[in-house]
Amino acid sequence: MFLLLAVASLALTPRARLTHRHSTTEEPHVHVSPISPISQISETEKGKPRMKLTIFGPTGRVGQHVLAQATAAGHHVTAVVRNPGKLGADAHTAPNVRIVTADLSEPDPGALESAVDGADAVLSGLGPRKKAEHGIVSSGTRAIADAIQAVGARRLIVVSGVGVSTVPTPSRPHPPKREPGVGPVMQYLTTPLAKRVLGHHFVDVALMEDFLHGCDADWTAMRVPLIVDKPQTGTYRTAYGHNLRAAFRIGQADAAQFMLQLIDQRQAVGKIVTIAY
């Protein structure tokens, strides 16, 4: 979703170093074993409580991994997609996956309510695939939130992007010009570059976050930097309610893993959470 920030970081900075020291501005690093493929789930894992999850954007860069990991863990998943043909074969054959066809550019309230009814959590990786879809993140999130409230569901986790706090919104007409605490490369290079390259989409994501702050749901916005295609590591930095210094990259699978972990984290409700290597 965010082909953003790291043109400069790729050229000017080394790979972000991982440290095991605690910090006053960052959460400690997370170390988690990768989720097992469905054929290798142990008897102990099989005994764990399963959840009902609804995933919007299950064909996106993060969403496809959320779908795969949630399915592998044995959760009951409803995948909401505009074109079911873009889902992998596993999604069509898995006994614990239900596919709902819906177009959030022209939302059908009844279809959306059916998709989220009874869900323990709703996860959204919405993002535009072309210029004509700019605006889908904020408007689609509103439609999802309306459906959640209509059926009495509560937990909503969305993918957002680093740097959007510098974008003016109705409730924040005069945002900071530079994000505090992120470091000079992000302040003066990568975030301004992302705003220039992404344009209206950057504004759209900021408007989504603005809407969430007034939303009657147990929401969390997971801010990601440049999303890269790499194997799941289970090792990354996180920050709750504040910025993360030098947040340049995160792998698709690691972002998905953390998104699923956020479901049960009460400390993340009503907060912006950032993840990066």
- Each of the 277 residues of the chain gets a pLDDT tens digit; together they read 443 433 333 332 333 333 333 333 444 444 343 433 333 333 334 556 799 999 999 999 999 999 999 999 999 999 999 999 999 999 999 999 999 999 999 999 999 999 999 999 999 999 866 666 779 999 999 999 999 999 999 999 999 999 898 889 999 999 888 877 888 877 767 776 777 776 678 899 999 999 999 999 999 999 999 999 999 999 999 999 988 999 999 999 999 999 999 999 999 999 999 999 9
Does residue 58 belong to any structural domain of this protein? yes
Q: CATH number of the domain that 182 lies in? A: 3.40.50.720
Domain that holds residue 55: 6-276
- This prediction's pTM: 0.81
What the block records as the tokens of 216 is 């009657």
Does residue 27 belong to any structural domain of this protein? yes
Does residue 1 belong to any structural domain of this protein? no
Does residue 49 belong to any structural domain of this protein? yes
Residue closest to 247 by CA, chosen among 1, 6, 24, 3: 6
Does residue 14 belong to any structural domain of this protein? yes
Q: Please tell me the total count of domains within the chain.
A: 1
Helix axes 200-212, 136-151, angle to 10 degrees: 20
Give the list of residues 6+ apart from residue 74 with CB closer than 8 angstroms, or none.
38, 41, 45, 46, 48, 50, 96
Residue closest to 146 by CA, chosen among 176, 111, 173: 111
Does residue 150 belong to any structural domain of this protein? yes
Residue 224 β-bridge partners: 161
